[in-house]
Amino acid sequence: MSTGSETGTAATVDRRSRALLVFCAGAVMFAAIDTYVVVLALPDMMASVDIAVDQLQRAAPIISGFLLGYVAMLPLIGRIADLRGPVPVLAASLVAFSVGSVVTAVSYDLPSMVLGRFLQGVGGGGLVPATMALVAALYPVERRGLPLGLVSAVQEFGSVLGPLFGAAVMSFTTWRAIFAINCAAGIALWVVVRVLRRGDDTPAPAEEAEVTEPGTTPARRGLPDVLGAVALVVAAGTALMTISPPSSLYTDLTYGELFVPVVSGGGRWLQPMGLVAVSAFLVFAARCVFARRPLFDVRSWGRSLAEADLTGAAYLAVVLGGIVLAFATADPEVSVFSAQGPWFLAGSAIALVALVLHLRRTDEPLVPRGTLAQRPAWGSLVVSLLVGWALIAALVDIPLFARTAEKGYDQLDAALVLLRFLVALPVGAVVGGVLVRRLPSGVITAAGMVAASASFWWMAQWDQSSLDSFVANVPLVLGGLGFGLALAPVNAAMLASTRDDVHGLASALVVVARMVGMLVGISVLTTYGLAQLYDARRDDPDLGVRALGVLQEQAVFQGAAIVALLAAVVALVVFRGAPTRSVETGQVLRAVG
């Protein structure tokens, strides 16, 4: 028999759960916005670190740094979420995203900018699987479908808002404000998540629980480490002054000495102010290790990293990192991958061999034995890679076609053309999640990718005036719906073919496969398009720049249509017999983002 008090408590917990989900979905949206906004802000970011517009290749690390953090660290993050729980991972991801945002905002050279983007990638990559796992933890199976579907839709909507957000901010201020806003939003969301979670009746996360090791003294209750907090504030304040010194102090005869390197020819961090920042950070790091109640419990996270197989994660990070750098730093006019690409891929191959040997020998591997043994499990990675390969053509080349074909189209106009595709994508994702309970996953995936292939083939017939017609909306919407329709059954096949205790890792691997496909796809398809452009120019030297650009984009769309059709065929083969109809709709959508 339930009392009124018990009913009220249950309602309170449920309200907190819903509020927690809303703010976590907001974090996912901000991470998605950041993924797409950098393309718009890239020219100004390049200028701030003295890279000319015609030296775009030098700016490749700004993009690849984010992708490296996102792709290389995602499997480890997914595994830790399986072992430790979603809330600690989500809170840590918000901290990494916020720190990366502020480092990017105040960056004064290319290395500092790349470091900031890398931290943003690590944080942004951890938000999606952690939020999806949190929904599964907060809601019973029969109630997960709607919240998980909405979180996935919000993640896709963030990609819609990215270019618009960047254009709005940069219309009245500089690109640095974009990342400052991201930092402020990340900190606010972290505070809200911590407050809401502490008010919940569920067990405290591992780093908040007072664990007593045999032979040790229990941690004291009370305020967190005050000395560590002071050291962190001092480190942050002096670091900002080192990076961007106030002119009143910098030019002062007395205080200006704080900004003169103590060693002739030394950099900023060898200035007295920089040395104070470094020393304060070292004090903070030491307090995180040795304090009773540290601001960040390094010991607890160290145990989680060890349990998650940090060695295996390092090998896998090198494998994925080599692939990212080989393709993300490529100049498509010269080669599919960069001049250093063979060396990067060779390093990945060596790391892959070491990873396989490590997984065979260790007792608790990063990827538990048998996780990808079933055909639908490894098949979902292959299909996800092909989906990403084709999807990147839409995300990059639709706005490029708009800028090339239509006179007077600026970046915002091109983004609005892509918006028609992106709006349809989350709709298709939700529809696919519903249909997977009724139809085989291979059939749904194939139908979606056939629709995507047809939309690309239609766009390959566009000319310089096609976007003036209302009919041009049809392939854009059809393509968005097709890709969205294919995302859910791919995840369903993976989830239905793996154990519950590895779903976080499995979902992360699906996302990684799609991101790798996008990296490979943009290089291969762009190189193919450029080859067609050069052939056309040789055949007809009188063709103008705009006409040649349209021919290039048409060739890219043709290549994407072939890849999308290949994905449909592979899905029919590898997903045959996958028991996806037994997977709840909510579980199906957990890694759609």
What are the pLDDT digits (tens) for 413-452? 777 788 888 888 878 877 887 787 778 888 999 999 999 9
Instruction: Give the pLDDT band (50/70/90) at residue 136.
Output: low
Asked whether 489 and 444 are in contact (CB, 8 A), the reply is: yes
Same domain, 265 and 407: no
Question: CB neighbours (10 Å) of residue 482?
Answer: 28
Count CB-CB contacts under 10 A for residue 85. 21
Query: How much is the CA Rg of the chain, to the nearest whole Å?
Result: 25
**pLDDT, tens digit, 9 for 90 and up, residues 464-484:** 778 878 888 999 999 999 998
| 236 belongs to a structural domain | yes
What torsion do the CA atoms of 398, 399, 404, 406 make, to the nearest 10 degrees? 100
219 φ/ψ angles, rounded to the nearest 5 degrees: -65, 145
Last residue of a domain, one of 248, 273, 294: 294
Question: Quick check: is 319 in a domain?
Answer: no
Q: Which of 6-15, 123-132, 393-402 has the lowest mean pLDDT?
A: 6-15
- To which residue do tokens 């309602």 refer? 11
Do 142 and 261 fall within a single domain?
A: no
Structure confidence at residue 336 (pLDDT):
61
Q: How far is CA 95 from the centre of its chain?
A: 15
- Residue 398: CA count within 13 A, CB half-sphere: 30
Instruction: Flag whether 367 is in a domain.
Output: no
Output the pLDDT for position 215.
36
Q: What is the mean pLDDT of residues 484-493?
A: 82
Give the per-residue pLDDT at 211: 39
CB 124 within 8 A of CB 31: yes
Number of domains present in the structure of the chain = 3
Residue pair 234/280 in contact (Cβ under 8 Å)? The answer is yes
Domain contains 354:
no
Instruction: Check: CB of residue 345 under 8 Å from CB of residue 321.
Output: no
Higher pLDDT, 233 or 268: 233
Q: How far is CA 214 from CA 176, 207, 221, in A?
A: 49, 18, 19
> Are residues 283 and 158 part of one domain?
no
Whether residues 140 and 249 share a domain: the answer is no
pLDDT at residue 331 tops 70 = no
Query: What confidence tens digit (pLDDT) does each residue in 70-106 have?
Result: 777 778 887 887 777 777 888 888 888 888 888 888 8
Parent domain of 242: 226-294
Q: Which of 82, 108, 77, 75 is nearest to 95 (CA)?
A: 77
Place of tokens 């998605």: 32
Beta carbons within 8 Å of 391's beta carbon, 6+ residues apart: 483, 514, 517, 518, 521
Residue 342 domain-assigned (yes or no): no
Q: Which residue has the higher pLDDT, 222 or 47?
A: 47
Question: What is each CA distance from 390 to 26, 103, 507, 563, in whole angstroms?
Answer: 28, 33, 20, 6
- Distance from the Cα of residue 25 to its chain's centroid: 14
Query: In Å, how far from its chain's centre is CA 44?
Result: 22
Question: Where a domain ends, among 294, 323, 345?
Answer: 294
> Which pLDDT score, from 0 to 100, does residue 83 have?
77
| CA distances (Å), origin 64, targets 234, 320, 353, 408 | 31, 12, 24, 30
Is residue 197, in this structure, part of any structural domain at all? yes
Determine, yes or no, domain membership for 243: yes
- Mean pLDDT in residue range 558-566: 94
pTM: 0.73
Rounded-to-integer distance, Cα 121 and Cα 593, Å = 15
Same domain, 51 and 108: yes
Q: How far apart are CA 269 and CA 280, in angstroms?
A: 13
Task: Output the pLDDT for position 149.
Answer: 55
Q: How far apart are CA 217 and CA 235, in angstroms?
A: 30
Q: Report residue 410's pLDDT band, with 50, 70 and 90 as the boundaries.
A: low
Give the model's pLDDT for residue 209.
Answer: 41
pLDDT of residue 578: 77
Compute the residue count for the chain.
593
In this structure, the answer to whether residues 175 and 278 fall within a common structural domain is no
Q: Say whether both 455 and 587 belong to one domain.
A: yes
Mean pLDDT for the chain? 77
Residue 76 and residue 168 in one domain: yes
Q: Estimate to the nearest angstrom the gap between the alpha carbon of 474 and the chain centroid.
A: 29
Least confident of 48-52, 110-114, 270-274, 377-381: 48-52
pLDDT for the residue numbered 383: 94
User: pLDDT at residue 172 above 50?
Assistant: yes
Buried b (16+ CB within 10 A) or exposed e, 406-439: beebebeebbebbbbbbbbbbbbbbbbbebbeee
Within 13 Å, how many C-alpha atoms sit on residue 142's CB side? 0
- Better-scored residue on pLDDT, 378 or 265: 378
Record the tokens describing residue 148, joined without a space: 């998980």
Q: Taking residues 572-583, what's their average pLDDT?
A: 76
Q: How far apart, in whole angstroms, are the C-alpha atoms of residue 62 and residue 45?
A: 9
Same domain as 263, residue 155: no
Show Cβ contacts of residue 481 under 8 Å, excluding neighbours closer than 6 positions.
Answer: 424, 425, 427, 428, 431, 448, 451
Q: Rounded to a whole number, what is the distance in angstroms from the first to the last CA of the chain?
A: 42
Instruction: Let me know if residue 324 belongs to a domain.
Output: no
The least confident of 20-34, 135-149, 557-571 is 135-149
CA–CA separation, 433 vs 150, rounded Å? 11
The domain that holds 499 is classified in CATH as 1.20.1250.20
- Is the pLDDT assigned to residue 382 strictly greater than 90? yes
Domain's final residue, options 249, 278, 294: 294
Amino acid at 75: P
Which strand (E) or helix (H) includes residue 506? Answer: helix 503-539
Q: Are residues 193 and 235 in the same domain?
A: no
Question: Are 147 and 194 in the same domain?
Answer: yes
How far apart are the C-alpha atoms of 499 and 494, rounded to whole Å?
Answer: 10
Q: Are 88 and 521 in contact (CB under 8 A)?
A: no
Kindly report, residue by residue over 194-203, the tens digit of the pLDDT.
Answer: 776 655 444 3
- Whether residue 13 is predicted with pLDDT greater than 50 in this model: the reply is no
My answer on whether 384 and 424 are in the same domain is yes
Give the residue among 215, 148, 146, 65 at the shortest CA–CA distance from 495: 148
Asked if the model's pLDDT at residue 210 lies above 50, the reply is: no
